[in-house]
């Protein structure tokens, strides 16, 4: 007798009498349930760039990447001198917050805000910016050390 005939008969006998399936038979049935066949449509290789674009779209990373591009290319938007004195800090609700080195720089950039906003919308159309806020440097904190006392503190520091 042929070995394949005996093997097939034995498998059919086990399946019919005990319901026991071999590990290979279970694996084959699982693959058939999923519809996974080696050369079916939809199993063609795809380019890495296409899969990355799909991944960015699924996790909504495209807007974050566009925002990061704006932040890294800030010097192309405002120029080298202004970029040395300012940097974009945050973008929330279409409002771009830009931290400046001094109040003079913040005032100067406030005067140029319409031109900067237009340039941002032209160079980075994926980033939604409707308003720019230029913020000067923060005042120094006098709350230092573990023994600071709550309250107003010294009032005539600057005479």
The CA-to-CA distance between both ends of the chain, in Å, stands at 112
Q: Which residues contact 66 (CB under 8 A, 6 or more apart)?
A: 124, 126, 127
Q: What is the pTM of this model?
A: 0.59
159 residues of the chain, pLDDT tens digit each = 577 777 777 777 776 666 677 788 778 777 776 665 667 776 677 788 888 888 877 887 888 888 999 999 999 999 999 999 999 999 999 999 999 999 999 999 999 999 999 999 999 998 999 999 999 998 777 677 777 777 766 665 554
Q: Can you list the domains of the chain with their CATH numbers?
A: 59-135 (3.30.300.180)
Give the Cα separation of 151 and 143 in Å (integer). Answer: 10
Place of tokens 């910016």: 129
């Amino acid at each position: 007798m042929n070995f394949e005939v005996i093997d097939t008969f034995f498998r059919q006998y086990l399946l019919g009498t005990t319901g026991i399936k071999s590990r290979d038979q279970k694996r084959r049935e699982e693959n058939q349930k999923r519809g996974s066949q080696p050369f079916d449509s939809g199993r063609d290789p795809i380019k890495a760039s296409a899969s990355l674009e799909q991944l960015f779209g699924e996790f909504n990373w495209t807007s974050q990447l566009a925002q990061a591009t704006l932040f890294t290319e800030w010097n192309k938007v405002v120029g080298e001198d202004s970029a040395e004195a300012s940097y974009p800090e945050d973008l929330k609700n279409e409002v771009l917050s830009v931290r400046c080195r001094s109040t003079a720089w913040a005032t100067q950039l406030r005067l140029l805000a319409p031109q900067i906003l237009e340039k941002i919308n032209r160079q980075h159309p994926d980033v939604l910016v409707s308003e720019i806020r230029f913020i000067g440097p923060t005042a120094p904190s006098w709350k230092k050390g573990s023994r600071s006392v709550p309250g107003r503190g010294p009032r005539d520091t600057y005479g």
